[in-house]
Amino acid sequence: MKLFAFIKSLFFKAEQIEEAVETFVEQVEEIVPETKKVTTKVKAGIARAKKETKKAKEIAAENEAAINVAETVIKTVRAKKTATK
């Protein structure tokens, strides 16, 4: 399904953004150690974002599987109806 391919590409982009932000925060910490308090909060936010992205990916995979099953059932029912006509 094109929809799920699009959703998966969004998750990939989200992961890329999370990694880029994490790298940026680490570089800022090295350059300006005084920012440690702020960067610690940012890192906690990144960790939460990664956790939520992982959950969302799992839900999307479950939804994709459920839709595939439903489509198979629909095709089977249609085929049986056509065969009985």
Instruction: Indicate if the pLDDT at residue 5 is higher than 90.
Output: no
What's the helix, strand, coil split of the chain in %, to 5? Answer: 95, 0, 5
User: How confident is the model at residue 1, as a pLDDT?
Assistant: 61
User: Is the whole model's pTM more than 0.85, yes or no?
Assistant: no
| Residue 35 DSSP code | G
Percent of the chain with pLDDT over 90: 58
| Mean pLDDT computed over every residue of the chain | 90
Of residues 52, 55, 4, 44, the one with CA closest to residue 21: 44
pLDDT of res. 81: 85
